[in-house]
Structure 1
Amino acid sequence: MASPLPTPVPAQLALGAALRAEFPILDQKVNGLPLVYLDNAATSQKPRAVLDALSRCYTEYNANVHRGVHALSAKATNEYEEARAKVAAFIGASTSREVVIVRNATEGINLVSNTWGAANIKQGDEIILSVAEHHANLVPWQLLAARTGAVLRHVRLTPDKSQLDMDHFRSLLSPRTRLVSLVHVSNVLGCVLDTAYVAEQARRVGAKLLLDCCQSVPHMPVDVCSLGADWIVASSHKFCGPSGVGFLWGRYDVLESMEPWMGGGEMIADVFLDQSTYAPPPMRFEAGTPAIAEAIGMGAAAEWLQQLGMDRVHAFEEEIGTYLYERLVAVSPRVTVYGPRPGAPRGRASLAAFNVEGLHATDVSTLLDMAGVAVRSGHHCAQPLHRELGVPASARASAYIYNTAAEIDTFIEALKDTIKFFDDAHGGVA
């Protein structure tokens, strides 16, 4: 077996080792070996600041929000609204009233589809998506199109299949385009959308723009005031927060024009037996008791990352993402890594979806798990994209701020052992 490449030592890569103590879950063994967690694109681990915020909520002031005048309810309400303000600050929103707390990014997209979409998308109108979208940014629009008779258009990949083809995107735009809804950073290709160009072109034809920011908000500075979108969505569990909560950001004038989606407590102004009036955004879209502790944990995660510095996070991820990519492509000519190379004009996320010729992604991931290395396998909720790539599935290693170059080395050596195991089992190259 070839000796591993030397671990790089740029200053940025020191961050991963320095942060590990903040994430207690990482200090464990899997199958008797130290855990190497490289499934961060699916869900991130949680720092002590978030775990402590959840604990304080349940041990010190557990109560319903917005509904009581007693001390615990007042404290819970204040913490819940502070969490909204922390998320707003994290993404550069001009006011916390633009932040709607939802269960996850999927719910945020469905909210837009069932409110703005239901009121504004008519038969013959066109919605531009892409072949690289997560299912959460495909299925809601398919349902809307089925109800309204709208037409779905899909941006294809560039000829090298590394990113979305912006020339094709522009060719799809027409006076009938009402909405553009695209992924900011692909969870398979790792490519970064040219949001400035997309926003400019969408505005040119009078279309609204929604961005799926699940893979960008955790990893790079995102400023909604300069992004050019009308809405963005993200899920807390991908940026160090709890699961079961996320946010929809929308320009306030757009949110104000949208009718409620779900009815119930909290989202009303006045209720009569036969009619109701509704609260202004964001409360209009938050019917019922929310995920209080989870929202507070999300706010703690946003604050923790903001204090860490998203420029610093992004610089670290560019370094470790480059190291991951270069080590992976050097394993064997049989290894295919999808997406652009490091150094692409808009960068590349610190994830690598890959396949080994002759091996199934799930078999590769299973043997890696036996070596203590956690990676993803499957279609990553992006079946149409995998069809475009001509494969049924891929394995995916995704790094985050607490990973180290030494862990990448461990992953690479385990992958080499995995390939050798299957080659030996088949009497040669699989």
Structure 2
Amino acid sequence: MVYKIPSLVESLVSDRAKKLIELLDDFVENVSSMPNWEKEKTDGRQVVPNVIEELKKKARKLGLWNLFLSKDYKEGAGLTNLEYGLMAEITGKCLRLAPEAINCSAPDTGNMEVFAKYGTPEQKARWLTPLLEGKIRSAFAMTEKAVASSDATNISTSIIRDGDHYIINGHKWWISGSGDPRCKVFLVMGKSDPNNKNKHRQQSIVIVPADTEGITIVRPLTIFGYDDAPEGHCEIIFKNVRVPKQNIILGEGRGFEVIQGRLGPGRIHHCMRSIGACERALDLMLLRVTDPSRKTFGRLLAEHGTIVADIARMRIEIDQARLLVLNAAHMIDKKGAKGAMKEIGMIKVIAPAVLLNVLDRSIQAHGAAGVSDDFPLAAMYAAARTLRFADGPDEVHIQQIGKLELKRAVEIGKNAEKRPRKIVSKL
């Protein structure tokens, strides 16, 4: 089915972006239909698909490359976040191949944003350029095994200055992308000034080449049994890892500043892709329930009232979530990430929740097949469930949203006192 831009935002989409959306929609449809690439395995784990480099070449020729970097960056494709939101939704229909094929996959997108926004010319030349060219991949090492990492001030990995170098010691886990053989660089967050009275000035982020001595990948972790090979979400030990002082990002004690910058557009891309994943799950359900060979109690599944009601709820929830996602992207375009904190928090809560609801109903309609690997639904469900805490727990986002709303109480009170009664008072 040809992708249609929601009429509510169509006027905000440039002609160039509309052409790219058309090209991308066709590209992803072709990628989605590619057979057997998931069967390529070594030692039981999926390897980097042989087809991926060929897909990258095709995408670059079509101009479908690095679309995620907004017009604020000279290295980007010159799109607004809203325009990219529509494109990211399309790639969400084929999460395993499409985002990487156009060089818009996590965690590289967030890391490229960090280098583009905060990197020195030397850091950009060594790391950003090959990332933008799709020649290497990267990982962001923040989460730790021994602390509650939803509060990043708890991070305990040490980054100690030793002359012209930093020495890093720490135990990280759930480091996405670190299992990929093409991963050549880590951005590592740790404490360089643990005694600083300002708890948000204790942290720094340093660039660590993946081949640096002292890095041990303990294991790839699994999500409901899926290890997301070849990238993986690995447990890693950094032991006396030494890097030159030039590898600091932005400066000592500015780690929180960097991750807050990374929390903007790059951290809502998964919400955008989630809408596309929802659409794919709904499509699969529609095909399943209208299959003439699948009848229960003498009727097609689609002829049962409960199925019809589920489909209606799925359509309503998807469209609601899409508009919230596009609204957040538009707010970032207008006011920046800081000015769109409430909108960003809202979609981080709602997008994974809607995706889980949609997947659950689609799985139910598929019966036992829905929880098997014959369909992508089970793997999609496992990935979607992690989103409710992988980018900050729902509880943190909800607290932030509630506090931002409560700040309006004073404003509401003042406006009520000052607002003149011009019309009704004269009746």
Fold agreement, TM-score > 0.5: no
Higher helix share: 2
Query: Which TM-score applies when normalising by structure 1?
Result: 0.27
Question: Which structure has the higher relative contact order (CA within 8 Å, separation 6+)?
Answer: 1
Query: Which TM-score applies when normalising by structure 2?
Result: 0.27
